Amino acid sequence: MSQRFVQRGRVRIAYELLGDGPPVALVQGLGLPGRMWLGLTGGLVKSRRSIIVPDNRGTGSSDAPLPPYRMGTLADDLAAVLEDAARGPALVVGISLGGMIAQHLALRHPRLVSGLVLAATTCGPPVGTLPNLGLVPPMFRSLAGDARALEKVRALLVNPQALAGNPRLFDEWDRQLSRQAWRWSGFVGQLAAAALHSTGLSLGRIRCPVEVIAGDSDRIVPPLNSRILAQHIPGAELTLVPGAGHAFPLEAPAALPAAIRRVAARMDVS
């Protein structure tokens, strides 16, 4: 995997490019760098796809300018990455905040998007709701090294039964997160963008194949929001993962790759 950079004014956005074939872009959630996709990238490469993994503005190797950020800016960052990668329109997979960015990308730069997987996300008010802000204080403290806050974040991210059944569920997550350079400006900037996120009145303009997927026990972004997205995006399909929470890719690792395959199949026949 090779790290690349694209310049957006005074801000440098980092991304990784891996493999060959039809492009898939993976866009992470609040405060998380691209490496937090864990084993998903390797699996997609084996399926003969090229994988584009950005570090959103404020995370990983990307710059973290002072807040606030705008969702349109984050979407334009992603557009610049896709253009720099020069692999053509991509199947864009976004989780949580990444799903918000993906919606704005599809609305602002439709020529760059061949399909969407919107995971554990929302269109925001007035049609949907904002995420549960109860996650923000412990997540802020956990990224600053507070172990007790980290335990609370874990308990909110997954179904408690999954964590009880597999106490090592977060081992690789923790290992990768420990490599994240903590920058308050990036976290607060992304949070400001999410607070103003609203696409519900524009979702009818999205025309590419779309899969909406979430855990049916998500306590961060209630699954009602996934139903709303699927209802408002023409032709969108909805999958709710039984017994899974917000971080459903940890609890049900096969669910997200299956959603990507379903969208890819619809792209091939469209």
Q: Report the CATH number at residue 21.
A: 3.40.50.1820
Print the domain residue range for 202: 2-132+182-269
Judge whether 69 lies within some domain: yes
Q: Tell me the per-residue pLDDT of 115-128, one tens digit each, with 9 for 90 and over.
A: 999 999 999 999 99
Mean of the per-residue pLDDT values for the chain?
A: 93
Does pTM top 0.85 for this prediction? yes
Q: Which helix (H) or strand (E) holds 238?
A: strand 237-241
Residue 270's pLDDT is 55
Query: Residue 242 and residue 244: Cα distance in Å, rounded?
Result: 6
CB 84 within 8 A of CB 4: yes
Ramachandran quadrant class, 206 (left: phi over 0; alpha: psi -120 to 50; beta: rest)? beta
Residue 163's pLDDT is 87
Judge whether 78 lies within some domain: yes
Judge whether 225 lies within some domain: yes
Judge whether 149 lies within some domain: no
Where does the pLDDT of residue 268 fall: very low under 50, low under 70, confident under 90, or very high at 90 and above?
Answer: confident
| 225 exposure class (CB count in 10 Å sphere: 0-12, 13-18, 19+) | buried
Domain count, the chain: 1
Q: For the ranges 67-76, 88-97, 159-168, 210-219, which has the lowest average pLDDT?
A: 159-168
Judge whether 202 lies within some domain: yes
Judge whether 141 lies within some domain: no
- Partners of 13 in beta bridges: 6
Judge whether 156 lies within some domain: no
Judge whether 151 lies within some domain: no
**Mean pLDDT for the stretch of residues 254-258:** 95
